[in-house]
Amino acid sequence: MVGVASDAGARRTRPGRGRADKAAAIARAACEVFGRDGYSRASIDAIAAEAGVSTRTLYNHFPGGKAELFRSVMRWSAGRVRDEQLARLRRYLDPHRPPRPEDLERDLLALARAWVALMTDFRDHFSLVRQIQGEAGHVPAEVLDAWQEAGPRAVAREMAEIMAALADHGLLDVHDDPAQAASHFVALTAAEIAQRSYWGVVPLPPEETDRITAAGVRAFLRAYGAAH
Amino acid sequence: MVGVASDAGARRTRPGRGRADKAAAIARAACEVFGRDGYSRASIDAIAAEAGVSTRTLYNHFPGGKAELFRSVMRWSAGRVRDEQLARLRRYLDPHRPPRPEDLERDLLALARAWVALMTDFRDHFSLVRQIQGEAGHVPAEVLDAWQEAGPRAVAREMAEIMAALADHGLLDVHDDPAQAASHFVALTAAEIAQRSYWGVVPLPPEETDRITAAGVRAFLRAYGAAH
DNA sequence: GGTAAACTACAACGCACGTTGTAATAACGA
DNA sequence: TCGTTATTACAACGTGCGTTGTAGTTTACC
């Protein structure tokens, strides 16, 4: 169970010559290796090899060593995915242009599908999230809080605003708690998939994710659809 | 392979003299240390010290070493908590004696509260679950599947049966999918708490968990309450 | 009290890994 | 072309840890 199968010659394309290129390559590689193996099992050598740099260069770019590298990668990955999450949110549910009532379910379903697709599109990130949850007791509380604030909470706030907007337009009844409605939307559409697929590591059959997502959206609309 | 006696005779001071006592003490200690530190960071010395035995005794009881110990503890802890989960399920929603309609929300709320209380009552187990999710890529697939089958899936099946029974008695409308209804019940009442509290590691204020749980039950009843 | 099993302390081996220093080499700007 | 900087290969150190062997001690039981 302990074996790490990634062979060492796995340097893909050479990072460019600039400093920034190396730093980005290291961050991407660290995200992948930390996500796959976890903090303790991930070795600096494996990360450097995956990034195509020497271990010495890695230490030159991240003088704090392994611990600081992990924290940097947490911030880097959280920001990247948060931006993409916010983009998808606004693409499918623009708070300034609410859908027609007969299109609400269609748009919510599209959003839910785009949401669960994130787990495969950013597999490395969500693997890292999984590892962060296991590592929570060993990460300083303020680092953990900063990560939540820069990632999950920012997304939750935006989604709550959209729920409130939909309620203002009479499309939903959020029962005076748009944040709770947003949380329930994510729980109904993504929680089961995340749990059963280990956050995208063991992908479910597409028809299964479609079924679960659609059932989640229908349940959400029964719970939060506007009374008529 | 050495099994772990499933008796619950927990000696609180020192492990007793019998073989079974030692094995149980080691399993309990391993559950705690693996859950706190994760597989890689957890050391055999720390587990042995926590159990109050020598490392040599640990290896005598678990000849497979660290990897086999982890797998044994997965099975042991999953079975223990599954039994408690099933007990609470039946205590609050006996499928043979459905509640009166006016008591349904009260009973569902009591069940939901008992459900989230599991996370603090069995903190070590759920910490271990968190670590298993991070370790999923390094645990043989059949071990992972056996664990799911002995724990989460067994509970999900039982809850689905209860949902079906409530539907048969006209208390719920499960929309032809009692398993999905059960999954949604858990998602609505426990998912947000599990995520925000890191599976019980960083406990939320009690009033916050109460609020979330109650809102989840109300949303569930709006989505799955019998039409009237 | 005696015997067998269980248990403990202790040492030792080997390996993997984080980290640092150093000297040589390649890239880039003036 | 020269000098500066980034990068590399390589060695080395220390440490922590999984695992095993051994010899002595305790416990259980007849």
Which nucleotide's C1' is closest to B43 (Cα)? D17
Contacts of B191 in chain A (CB under 8 A): 187, 191
DSSP A188: I
Residue-wise pLDDT for B119-158, tens only, equals 999 999 999 999 999 999 999 999 999 999 999 999 999 9
Smallest Cα–Cα separation from B124: which of B53, B206, B36?
B36
Q: A151: helix, coil or strand?
A: coil
Residue-wise pLDDT for A128-170, tens only, equals 999 999 999 999 999 999 999 999 999 999 999 999 999 999 9
What pLDDT was estimated at residue A13? 33
Amino acid whose CA is nearest the C1' of D22: B56
A57 touches strand D (CB under 7 A): yes
Instruction: Give the CATH number of domain B74-224; options: 1.10.357.10, 1.10.30.50, 1.10.240.10, 1.10.3720.10.
Output: 1.10.357.10
Residue A55 CA distance to nucleotide D2 C1' (Å) = 29
Chain B nearest CA to A130, separation (Å)? 6
What pLDDT was estimated at residue B220? 98
Residues of chain A with CATH 1.10.10.60: 1-63
Residues of chain A with CATH 1.10.357.10: 74-224
Q: Please tell me which residue of chain A has the smallest CA distance to B201.
A: A137
- Whether the per-residue pLDDT at B7 is higher than 80: the answer is no
| pLDDT top residue among A9 and B215 | B215
Contacts of A112 in chain B (CB under 8 A): none
Smallest Cα–Cα separation from B104: which of B209, B213, B228, B218?
B218
List, in sequence order, every beta strand (DSSP E) within chain A: none
Residue-wise pLDDT for B24-39, tens only, equals 999 999 999 999 999 9
Q: How far apart are CA A26 and CA A20, in angstroms?
A: 10
Token pair listed for B208: 């916050």
Which nucleotide's C1' is closest to B59 (Cα)? D19
What pLDDT was estimated at residue B63? 95
Residue B138 to residue A184, Cβ atoms within 8 A? no
> If pLDDT is split at 50, 70 and 90, which confidence band does A17 have?
low
Residue A40 to residue B40, Cβ atoms within 8 A? yes
Instruction: Using an 8 Å CB-CB cutoff, list residues of chain B that contact chain A.
Output: 36-38, 40-41, 67, 70-71, 130-131, 133-140, 143, 175, 177, 180, 183-184, 187-188, 191-192, 198-199, 201-202, 212, 215-216, 218-220, 222-224
Chain B nearest CA to A1, separation (Å)? 5
What pLDDT was estimated at residue A7? 29
Residue-wise pLDDT for B75-98, tens only, equals 999 999 999 999 999 999 998 999
Residue-wise pLDDT for A74-98, tens only, equals 999 999 999 999 999 999 999 899 9
Amino acid occupying residue A7: D
Neighbour tally for A174: CB within 10 Å: 19
**Exposed e or buried b for every residue in B137-155, given b needs 16+ CB within 10 A?**
bbbeeebbeebeeebbebb
List the single range of A13-22, A34-43, B102-111 with lowest mean pLDDT: A13-22
- Whether the per-residue pLDDT at B12 is higher than 50: the answer is no
Nearest to A198 among B67, B136, B216 (CB): B136
Residue-wise pLDDT for A1-16, tens only, equals 322 222 222 333 334 4
Residue-wise pLDDT for B177-212, tens only, equals 999 999 999 999 999 999 999 888 888 999 999 999
Neighbour tally for B130: CB within 10 Å: 23
What pLDDT was estimated at residue B18? 59
A90-109 mean pLDDT: 94
Residue B65 CA distance to nucleotide D25 C1' (Å) = 25
What pLDDT was estimated at residue A228? 59
- Whether the per-residue pLDDT at A18 is higher than 80: the answer is no
> If pLDDT is split at 50, 70 and 90, which confidence band does B61 have?
very high
What pLDDT was estimated at residue B101? 94
Instruction: Give the CATH number of domain A1-63; options: 3.40.50.300, 3.30.930.10, 1.10.10.60, 1.20.5.440.
Output: 1.10.10.60
Chain A nearest CA to B16, separation (Å)? 31
Q: Please tell me which residue of chain A has the smallest CA distance to B199.
A: A133
Amino acid occupying residue B120: T
Residue-wise pLDDT for A163-210, tens only, equals 999 999 999 999 999 999 999 999 999 999 999 998 888 889 999 999
- Phi/psi at A225 (5° precision): -65, 150
Q: Quickly tell me which residue has 């409130």 as its tokens.
A: A164
pLDDT > 70 in chain B, percent: 91
Contacts with B215 (C-beta within 8 Å, 6 or more apart), sequence order: A177, A180, A184
Residue-wise pLDDT for A30-69, tens only, equals 999 999 999 999 999 999 999 999 999 999 999 999 999 9
- Phi/psi at A174 (5° precision): -85, 5
Q: How far apart are CA B57 and CA B26, in angstroms?
A: 9
